[in-house]
Amino acid sequence: MFPLRDENPTIHKSIITYLIIIINIVVWFFVQGFGFDPFLYRSVFHYGLIPGELLHKIEPGTQIEIARGITAVFDGKPNWYSVFTSMFMHGGWFHILGNMWFLAVFGDNVEDAMGWFKFILFYFLCGIFAATAQIISNPSSMVPMVGASGAISGVMGAYAVLYPRVPVHMLVFFGFFFTRIVIPAFLVLGYWFLIQILSSFFSTDTGGVAVWAHIGGFLSGILLVKLFSNSEKVDIFKNRRGKTDKFFYRYR
């Protein structure tokens, strides 16, 4: 399932949400070279978060093949800035487009409920907690972790708490056939979180999706949202309870 849009109006312009999207796109173009070699591999290795390097669990001089014919050498110096820079790195076109789309769909309302300054703090805190969860899952890993999905998972967790009954339009694929359905946000985000939990049982250290970052980010969003959100702004949508309740019971 893929979210197309939600039926959740905003009060203010979502400046920070779209600024984050713009920064990610600029980085993708000018630092990661549109995903072409060798810019992509260099950026992932230099600015991605590598747990084993950060925790001094990789011997200096250790080599790792990050792509066919491209070998990286660890110098033993932990790049602490990678906790933040990794949030703006991506591994491919589908990676960045998917992340930015999810942020655009769910981020504007969360920012609206928090205000721009609190939303910035919330976003990066979720990203840090997501990175921490991934590090704990495999502290000796030599695989670089990149992507905004950890922080965006936190945004999704916050959305699930703030607007559980909001209608979300989903594109559903059944092989070559696809259709559109409308379901409550808590089902959309709950289903997504369940997939991450199930995927964690099959995750390996050979690359792929950092599911523990997704899980950690989502849970941190749920735990932090009450500290950052403004209840008066959230009630703007809840005041339309008649329409929302009718929708909810229709799909329960």
Global pTM exceeds 0.85: yes
User: Is residue 29 very low, low, confident or very high in pLDDT (cuts 50, 70, 90)?
Assistant: very high
User: Is residue 176 very low, low, confident or very high in pLDDT (cuts 50, 70, 90)?
Assistant: confident
Which domains, ranges and CATH numbers included, belong to the chain? 2-251 (1.20.1540.10)
- Alpha-helix runs per DSSP H in the chain: 15-30, 39-47, 51-54, 82-85, 93-114, 116-137, 149-162, 185-200, 211-228, 231-238, 241-251
pLDDT over 70 (residue 100): yes
What's the confidence (pLDDT) of residue 209? 82
pLDDT over 50 (residue 201): yes
CA–CA separation, 80 vs 62, rounded Å?
Answer: 19
What's the confidence (pLDDT) of residue 236? 54
Q: What string of H, E and C letters represents the secondary structure of 16-55?
A: HHHHHHHHHHHHHHHCCHHHCCCHHHHHHHHHCECHHHHC
What's the confidence (pLDDT) of residue 50? 92
Percent pLDDT > 90 in the chain is 65
CA–CA separation, 33 vs 109, rounded Å?
Answer: 31
> What are the tokens at 141?
């890993």
Neighbours of 67 (CB within 10 A): 13
Among 139, 133, 124, 121, which Cα is nearest to 196's? 133
Distances (CA, A) of 187 to 24, 50, 164, 211, 249: 28, 33, 8, 19, 13
pLDDT over 90 (residue 249): no
Distances (CA, A) of 58 to 61, 131, 140, 198: 9, 18, 7, 29
Q: Average of pLDDT values for 101-121?
A: 96
> What are the tokens at 46?
């230099």
CA–CA separation, 216 vs 51, rounded Å?
Answer: 15
Q: Is 174 exposed, middle or buried (0-12, 13-18, 19+ CB in 10 A)?
A: exposed
What's the confidence (pLDDT) of residue 49? 94
Q: Assess contact for 151 and 130: CB atoms under 8 A.
A: yes
CA–CA separation, 87 vs 5, rounded Å?
Answer: 24
Among 33, 2, 11, 21, which Cα is nearest to 151's? 21
**Taking all residues of the chain, what is their mean pLDDT, rounded to a whole number?**
88
Residue 201 makes CB contacts below 8 A (sequence gap 6+) with: none
φ, ψ for residue 67, nearest 5 deg? -165, 165
pLDDT over 70 (residue 161): yes
What tens digit of pLDDT does each residue of 186-196 get?
Answer: 999 999 999 99
pLDDT over 60 (residue 245): no
What's the confidence (pLDDT) of residue 232? 62
